[in-house]
Amino acid sequence: MWLTSKIKQILMVMKPGVVTLDYPNERPPVPANLRGQPVFDHQKCIGCGGCSDHCPARCILVRDVCQELRVMLYDGSRCTYCGRCADICPEKAITMSNSFEIACDQKEDITTRMELFMMTCQRCGRCYEMEKTNAIDRINLKGFRYDNLEQRALIRKTSETFDPALLKESDNYQRPSDKE
Amino acid sequence: MSKRKELEAKLIAHLRDDVVCVEKTDPRTIFIDVKRAGIREASKIITTAGARYLCSVGYDNIERDGTLGMIHTFALDDSDQFVCCRTSAPVGDPVIESITPDLPSAGWSEREVTDLLGLRFAGHPKPKKLVLADDWPDGIYPLRKDVPHNFVPKGAEDVAYELDEAPPGTKIVPVGPFHPSLHEPEHFAVYVDGETIKGCDYRGFMTHRGIEKLCTTQISYNEVPFIAERICGICGSVHATAFSQAVESAAGLVIPRRAEFIRTMMLEFERIHSNLLWLGVAGHLIGFDTVFMQAWRVREQIMWLCERLTGNRKTYGMILVGGVRRDITPEIADDIRRVMKNIEDDLTIIHRAIEKDTSIHKRTKGVGTITKQQALDWSLVGPVARARGVDIDARRDHPYAAYDEMKFEVPVLDSCDVWATLVIRVVETFEAIKIVRQCLDKMPGGEFFVEMKDKIPAQRHAITVVEAPRGESVHYVITGEDNRPERWRVRAPTFPNLQAVPLMLLDEQFGDFPIIMGSIDPCFSCTDRVAVVDLQTGQSSSITKAELDALSRRAQSPSHSLQTMLRG
C-alpha cells in the first residue's frame, strides 16, 4: 500500500511539472475588472464627500480650509481597495484602475490630494442632493468638514456654516487617552 | 404543539413570574425575555428541550434604561429555529448567574462580556481576563457607549497573565507567541509529563482589533460587510453574508433570488479554496510537504477565478446589504465550469494518492480523539464536530441564501480523530463543486441587488448562522439609530472549537500538538513582547513596551535601530 501510494504521489507531482511563475520577468495578464489603485478625476469631482463618508477604511479625508476651498485627501497607505468610493461617487469621478504594483518608500507617492474651489450655496453653505436612492447609502456628514490631514484622522463633526473655531480645534486633534 | 408553545409552556411552568414575555413576531427566532433570577434555569430548560448552545451577546442599554443586556442564543436544529434568551442587570449591580457550569462552551462568551461590558457572572469557574490586554486599566469597558472608539489607555509595565497552575509532576512547555509550526501568533502553555500532554492553558486575543466597536460607532450599514470580510482572511464572504442577512432579517428586506444564488456560489468558492488550503497546511504540519505544494497549486486556480470574477483574489467585496455587487455573466459562467472541472480532476488525483498513504494514517488516526458526548457538551461545530459523529450543518439545518434548493451530502464520520476531519474536508470540497454547478444550472434571471426604500428601524434584533468552511459562524445584530448597527456580535467557528482543544490534547503526545491544533483550522492572532539576547554576554533581557514603541518609531532611520538599543 505504501509503495503504490508513493508511486501515485510521484505521478501527481510529475504531471503538472513546474508551475511557479517567473515573476517579475514574466507577468500574468491583469483581469479587466481588477480592483486596483483608485484614480481620482479632479475635473469631475464636485467635492460632495460621499466617498469619504462611505470609505470603510476611512482613508479619504475632507477639510474645508475656508469658505471656498475644500481639500480632499486620499491616503493609499490605509486603502483596502474595496471600490466602495467608486460605487458611491455620483459623478463617476473615481475609477478602480488595474495598477497593483504600488509598493513604495514614501507614503506621499500613493497619496492623492485635490484642492477644489467650491461655490457657496446661498441657502445652506454646502448641500448636495445625492443621486442615491438607497436609504442606507445616504450621506451622513453634510456641510463643512474638518478632518485632520497631518494625522490622517477622519473627524465626525460637521457644521452648516463655515466655522473657523472648529477648524482650529481639528488642528489640535488628539486621540482620546488617559495618558499623562 | 409547536416548539415555540411547548417551550413557552415549560418556561412558565417552571419560572412563573420570571418570564417577562415570549415574542411572536419572527417565525424563525423565538425571543424570550426573562428576569435575571431565572436566567440559568431558563437556559437549562431550553437545552433540555433539545437546543444547542451557540453564543452569548452582551450589550449596553445604559442610556435607555440603565441596564446591561445579556442574550444567550441557542439553535433548534430539528425545526430550523433559534432561541434567544434575553435578560438584563442594572449597571449599578451588574451581576448575573453564570450558565457555564451547565454549558462549558459558554465560558469564553461570558468572560468576553465581563471584559468588554463589565457584566459579571456569579459562579463562573474561571473568571479570568480573556479579550482585553493584560495592562488594560480596570473599570474601563470598551464596548460601553461612553468609551470612544479610538480611546488609548495608559499602558502599564510588568503586568502579565497568570497562567493556570500546572498539574503536579508536570513541566510547562510554552508554545508561542510565535512558533514555527503554527502560522499565527498565539500562546499556549502546555503541561507535559515526559512526552504526554496533561493539560494546557491558552492566552490569546492579543491583537483584538475592536472591529465590533468600530462598526457600531464609525461606519454605516453598507460598509460593515467590507470590514466583516476582514475578520478572517479565509472565510471573508461568510462574515459579510452573515452580517448582511442579519440586517436584512431585522429590516424585513427580501433580496432577489439571483443574489442569493450568487452568494451561495461565493460561499462555496470559499469552501473549496479553504479546504484545499487546510489540506495543504495539514500536510505541512505532519511533515508531508508534497501534499502542501500540490493542494496549493490546485487552489491557485480558484484564486485566479475569483480575481476575474470579483476583482480580487480574496476579500471579494461581493456582498452588500440588499444583494451582491457584481453579476455572473455567461462568459464568466463558462469560466467557472472550466475551473471546477480542473479542480475536480486535480483533487481526485491528490485524493487517490494520499487516501491509503500509511504515513498520513500513522500521524492522524487515533490522534486528537474526543468522544461524541464531549463534542456535544462543548458544542463543537463544523468538520471538527462532524468528525465526531455530530450531524450538524447550518446549510442543511438552517438553510439560508439558496441552500434550500441545493442537493448535497453532509459527510459525518465517527472515528473521532484528525483523520476523520481530513476525510470530511476533502469530501466537502467535492460537494462544494457539486453545489457550484447546481447554482449555475438553476440560477434565475433578474436583478441582483435591491435598495432599501426607508431607514432601517432601530432596536430590532436578528440572528443568523452561516456555515463557514471550518464551522458555523453566528452573527447577532441589534439595529441602531445612525444608519449603523447598535450592537453586532460575531462568533467565529474557532471560538467554540478552540475551547475544546485542551480536551483534545489531553493524554496525547507532544509531537502531535501541531496537527491537533491545526485540525480545528484555528483562526486567531495575538502578539507579545520581544525578548532580546545579547550574544556577547549571553544575557537575555526583555524589551519593555515603551522601548518597543520607541524602536518602531525610529525604524525609519536604520542606523538607530536595534544595535543602538543593545549597546545602550
Those of residues 182-241 in B touching chain A at CB distance below 8 A are 218-224, 226-227, 230
Report the chain A residue with the minimal C-alpha distance to residue B247.
A136
The SS3 assignment for B505 reads: helix
Q: Is residue A119 included in any domain, yes or no? A: yes
B535 touches chain A (CB under 8 A): no
A113 touches chain B (CB under 8 A): no
What pLDDT was estimated at residue A47?
Answer: 87
Question: DSSP labels for chain A?
Answer: -HHHHHHHHHHHHHTT------TTTS-PPPPTT----EEE-TTT-----HHHHH-TT--EEEEE-SSSEEEEEEETTS-----HHHHH-TT--EEE-S------S-GGGGEEEEEEE-PPBTTTBS--------GGGS-S--SEEB-BTTTTB----EESS--HHHHHHHHT----B---
Q: Which of B138, B141, B139 is nearest to B159 (CA)?
A: B138
A10 located within any domain: no
Q: Establish, for the pair of chains A and B, how many residue pairs have beta carbons separated by less than 8 Å.
A: 121
Position A131 confidence tier, pLDDT thresholds 50, 70, 90:
low
Would you say residue A126 lies in a domain? Answer: yes
Residue A86: give the domain boundaries: 32-171
Query: Is A146 part of a structural domain of the chain?
Result: yes
Nearest-CA distance A154 → chain B (Å): 10
| Chain B contact for A134 (CB, 8 A cutoff) | yes
Cell of B266: 461565493
Q: For B261-322, where are the E strands, in sequence order?
A: 319-320
pLDDT in the model for residue B373: 93
Q: Tens digit of pLDDT for each residue in B442-451? A: 999 999 999 9
What are the structural domains of chain B? 3-147 (3.30.460.80), 211-519 (1.10.645.10), 531-567 (no CATH)
Closest residue in A to B140 (Cα) is A178
Q: Using the beta-carbon criterion (under 8 Å), do A84 and B359 form an inter-chain contact? A: no
| Candidates A54, A135, A180; nearest CB to B223 | A54
pLDDT at residue B386 in the model: 94
Q: Is A5 on the interface with B (CB under 8 A)?
A: yes
What's the whole-number mean pLDDT along residues A41-69?
91
Whether the Cβ atoms of residue B154 and residue B96 lie closer than 8 Å to each other: no
What is the reported pLDDT for B535? 35
Q: Does residue A53 belong to any structural domain of this protein?
A: yes
Question: Which of A59-73, A90-104, B228-242, B508-522 is least confident?
Answer: B508-522
The span from the CA of B234 to the CA of B231, in Å, is: 9
B459 close to A (CB below 8 A): no
Whether the pLDDT of residue A128 is over 80: the answer is no
A21 located within any domain: no
**φ/ψ of residue B192, rounded to 5:** -120, 145
Q: Which residues of chain B have pLDDT under 70?
A: 1, 180-183, 523-568
For residue A78, the chain B residues in CB contact (below 8 A) are none
Which pLDDT value is given to residue B2?
Answer: 77
CA distance to B133, B142, B214, B424, per residue, from B208 (Å): 8, 12, 12, 31
Strand ranges inside B204-357, DSSP E: 319-320, 323-324
Looking at the domain assignment, is residue A68 inside a domain?
Answer: yes
> Chain A: nearest CA to B317, how far in angstroms?
6
In a domain, A5, yes or no: no
Question: Which CATH number characterizes residue A158's domain?
Answer: 3.30.70.20
- In chain A, residues with a C-beta closer than 8 Å to the C-beta of B136 are none
* Nearest-neighbour CA in chain A from B84: distance (Å): 27
* Chain centroid, CA A22 distance in Å: 32
Distance from the Cα of B153 to chain A's closest Cα (Å) equals 5
Q: State how many domains chain A has.
A: 1
* B150/A contact by beta carbon, under 8 A: yes
pLDDT in tens, B229-239: 988 888 889 99
